[in-house]
Structure 1
């Protein structure tokens, strides 16, 4: 008898637990939206170190062009950073894909084919050009996951400045006189006189473009952050500023005599020491069988997302769009630009029974939610206030 009572009690307890796990209280979306907007109001004021919005603030006046320029530059920079982080997140979705890559190394063709070669007479004091032949990898273009450019910075005891900020650019094919000739990739601060070190740059987008469009492979440019020199239009002559020349030296690019003092024996020894430090690309590719499996998984994931997150009427947890209009939703007239921002959020009920595929997809959904929340906080706004 006691055994039956105990069994019945345990059964009722398990049913109660199952019901509590499988159901969630109904979400009042309108009420949730209102609370969300009020929370955002407080967050914005907190980030601006304000306890309350300015009172009796007049309609916005015309913003000076120089302020608009700063705003546009900052906005573009933040959007570019968010895009790079999203791309990196997509490329490194799971440990399984991380351990299933093939790595290929592509060395830069040597500038000095033999020890007796005469170095180029044209010296570029403000930048260096680096080119790679990736044509052998074109057949695997769709398998590319990540590309990394690595260059070894040499110690330069002759450097006039101890520290410089160098920038890496992708050289672009110029369509006309007004089109850009280079695209910024990344920058690093280096110690010119310190011991040598490897510098690494993520160049996935550039290499991906080269593999699909061979004619666009014009190489990379390593230059100073701001090579301040004077250009004379009448004769196309550049008057150099010695303090702004590129003092960093790179193995396989710069001639040994530009950073080493001594006789021919010393120079030859230094060149031999650095012979294995040629600039190179590291390409990480998915094997063909993994690519097919990945595409199949993506199709499954898209189907699952369509069923769970992107229907017009959705009760389950998903990323929900929310655009905050500062004037309409918050009643604020004191913000000039932007007019509003996307404050997307996660909300909804969570089903109890999950398959392994669904579980994985939901983890991805939550990571996506967290990422978009981060973007919303970083790309918040730039406020132009008059004195009040």
Structure 2
């Protein structure tokens, strides 16, 4: 009799614990199928498409323009760098706009000043603001702008470096923006500057062309040898000297450019100018034995899983999803469980159990074909990197 009573108590206890879990016994394949269908709708919604393009309009046999491919690769490079930055608070209005994909544009430096004297202490870089204004629209639609230049042919003495400063404008009216230290380790690497506020200011104005100036730092001590010798490195697309030979060499070089991200003009209802940044928190990936809340791997192949040929880059991505039990939160000794109980008392209509939900998400740049043309856009919150119980 005692043994039967003991067994009954064990069954009752296990039943209670099971009911508190947010992850009951489920068919993982069914979960994956639902996740894939949700992603299908999510991508179409973010791209503002009522339906997916017809198979015969996928453009999979069309050659991708080199400019579009360059823009896509540049957006991936910029995203990789931005993911090392700390995420800032985002307001409710900004979250609404963050949902939609961002339009990416790449604007090369004009060829007006693509050469400079060997002993020059500054390099001017001009950009067609009228063209940027036409593509981006209102300055408040601009969410990010980054100027990038490729460092080549470094000739800096060992254990030395050159300090360069970026200025907005030219001459005595120039305004200091930022500085960087250049050494031989930066050869064949990209140097980038955040120029979001500067570009927003220019977009507000009426000028068709504006320029930056890259200057060597002057310590004004009279003994700075790195200053006296001029630039000890080259920038791809900007040639030392003049002549036809230099012009020919520039044809295959990557010139300095500005990469912008902006809210589509036909979507925005709440204009914003704040910059969004992403966290680089590591993801707590599930194993076969994991039962608690964690990230479960899910790779989406656009052609195999969605039947889409109109997304040309990438061919797929790790979307992932959150699943697992949050029962550990309800431990009687856990202060959080007491807070949840109090919250439930005052909010009887709220969820009775914590749920396993995404904590950190990352964007996904894509190159796709729609309306008989290739486009590059960045889809926000597409990759689940970590999960939490909430």
- Work out whether the TM-score is over 0.5: no
Structure with greater helix share of residues:
1
Q: Which has the larger radius of gyration?
A: 1
Q: Work out which structure has the larger RCO, using CA pairs closer than 8 Å and 6 or more positions apart in sequence.
A: 2
